[in-house]
Amino acid sequence: MQGQMWVDSEPGKGSNFYFTITCQISPPSRLETVLQKIQPWSGRTILYLDSLGDMTGVAKLIEELGLKVYVSHDVVRLADKSRLPHIDTIIADSLAGTEKLRDLDHLRYIPIILLSPPLPPHCMPRLNLKWCLDNSISAQLTTPCNHEDLANTLVTALESVTSHQAVDAPAMTYDILLAEDNMVNQKVAVKLLENYGHHVQIVENGQLAVDAVKERWHQGKPYDVILMDVSMPFMGGMEATELIRAFESEQNLERTPIIALTAHAMIGDRERCLQAGMDDHVTKPLRRADLTNAISKLVRPHPSHAAGNAARAAYTRH
């Protein structure tokens, strides 16, 4: 790398090691193009949880992108919602701070961008996918970064917030079964759905979901829709769906819409879900627009459930 290395040593005190290298300068970011891309979100507020002193100038970059930045150096300052502006997205520079943010109800469901220092691969913290999903981590960004890197990452998070706000409350409310083993995901889904007046019952594995479906049909009050996590202990969502479809077929019952909840969007996920008997799938972390759109697309309003009512009565007489 056309550099030099040398060392200065002093007996009894220690050594200082030095080196020089020749590096290629990164091209300047295409700021004008970047600003055009993020312009639809101009003026939105980004909460920057800065526990390391912002040595890489992230706060300044946010402002130069035409966004507002609210800087806090600890989570304690964020506990009082009345003292905060409306927050659209969060940038945090520590794993511990991210977890503490999720203890605050008013910040729990806001997308987070996690900043990471430029460490060698063997020194980088290993981020568990499940942990990222549970904590609504939208992206990870290595610092120092330029306008383009930051803008591209922010747009993804801000788009999800915008889509949340664009969804109108549905005219109908539904009785929903949620099969999900993760407590954080349960809380996210329930909060999103109950805000629209839906009633949600939670079970923690596929077998309990099958049992709940059968019990509701026995009572003559089947669910309007089922949200089924694909990966659960004891029995997963695929197997549970196949058993529910077999039960409906044997009893000549109306088909209840089942929406798969998958950890990440992989090629072939939708096809596998449909093959198991599911009707659609939504990826985690759960987003209000995705969830409500999937439900409204599949579930018919109660007044049109005449065929379903007849089937319920027939099954109840069994």
Which domain does 248 fall in, by range?
A: 175-301
Q: For residue 210, is pLDDT > 50?
A: yes
- Statement to judge: residues 245 and 143 lie in one domain: no
How many domains are there within the chain? 2
Helix (H) or strand (E) holding 148: helix 147-166
First to last CA, the chain: 81
Strand order in the sheet with 112-116: 68-72, 45-49, 89-92, 112-116, 137-142
- Statement to judge: residues 150 and 190 lie in one domain: no
- Statement to judge: residues 72 and 118 lie in one domain: yes
- Arithmetic mean of pLDDT, 121-148: 71
- Arithmetic mean of pLDDT, 16-24: 87
Last residue of a domain, one of 131, 163, 195: 163
Last residue of a domain, one of 134, 163, 192: 163
Q: What is the pLDDT of residue 316?
A: 47
Quick one: 283 exposed, middle or buried, by C-beta within 10 A (0-12, 13-18, 19+)?
Answer: middle
- Arithmetic mean of pLDDT, 3-16: 89
Q: Is residue 10 part of a domain?
A: no
- Statement to judge: residues 113 and 204 lie in one domain: no
- Arithmetic mean of pLDDT, 115-142: 68
Q: What is the pLDDT of residue 308?
A: 46
Q: And the tokens for 254?
A: 């109306």
Question: What's the chain's Rg over C-alpha atoms?
Answer: 25
Q: Is residue 3 part of a domain?
A: no
pLDDT tens string 39-83: 888 889 999 999 888 778 899 999 999 999 999 998 999 999 889
Q: Is residue 14 part of a domain?
A: no
| Residue 41, C-beta contacts closer than 8 angstroms, at least 6 positions apart | 67, 88, 154, 155, 158, 162
Q: What is the pLDDT of residue 167?
A: 46
- Statement to judge: residues 129 and 180 lie in one domain: no
Cα-based angle 282, 283, 287 (whole degrees, multiple of 5)? 80
Q: What is the pLDDT of residue 136?
A: 67
Q: Is residue 281 part of a domain?
A: yes
pLDDT tens string 140-196: 888 888 898 999 889 888 876 654 444 444 557 899 999 999 888 888 888 888 878
Q: Report the candidate in 253, 270, 262, 259 with the shortest Cα–Cα distance to residue 232.
A: 262
Q: What is the pLDDT of residue 254?
A: 92
Q: Is residue 47 part of a domain?
A: yes
Angle between helix 206-219 and 237-251 (nearest 10): 30
Which one-letter DSSP state was computed for residue 279? Answer: -
Q: What is the pLDDT of residue 12?
A: 85
- Statement to judge: residues 246 and 278 lie in one domain: yes
Q: Is residue 4 part of a domain?
A: no
Last residue of a domain, one of 163, 193, 212: 163
Q: Is residue 307 part of a domain?
A: no
pLDDT tens string 226-249: 999 998 989 999 999 999 999 999
Q: What is the pLDDT of residue 238?
A: 92
| Residue 67, C-beta contacts closer than 8 angstroms, at least 6 positions apart | 38, 41, 42, 43, 44, 45, 46, 154
- Statement to judge: residues 32 and 66 lie in one domain: yes
Q: Scanning the structure block, which residue is given the tokens 């839906």?
A: 198
Q: Is residue 168 part of a domain?
A: no
- Statement to judge: residues 49 and 148 lie in one domain: yes
Q: What is the pLDDT of residue 163?
A: 47
Is residue 237 within 8 A of residue 179, CB to CB? The reply is: yes
CA distance linking residue 253 with residue 110, whole number of Å: 40
Q: And the tokens for 288?
A: 């209000």
Is residue 48 within 8 A of residue 71, CB to CB? The reply is: yes
Q: What is the pLDDT of residue 307?
A: 42
- Arithmetic mean of pLDDT, 109-134: 68
CA distance linking residue 113 with residue 216, whole number of Å: 41
Is residue 247 within 8 A of residue 215, CB to CB? The reply is: no
More confident residue, 138 or 86: 86
- Statement to judge: residues 244 and 204 lie in one domain: yes
Q: What is the pLDDT of residue 181?
A: 92
Q: At 263, which CATH number?
A: 3.40.50.2300
- Statement to judge: residues 157 and 210 lie in one domain: no
More confident residue, 124 or 90: 90
- Statement to judge: residues 128 and 250 lie in one domain: no
- Statement to judge: residues 293 and 197 lie in one domain: yes
Q: For residue 251, is pLDDT > 50?
A: yes
Res. 28 pLDDT band, cuts 50 70 90: low
pLDDT tens string 271-295: 788 888 999 888 877 777 788 888 8
Q: What is the dihedral of CA 211, 213, 214, 220, to 10 degrees?
A: 140
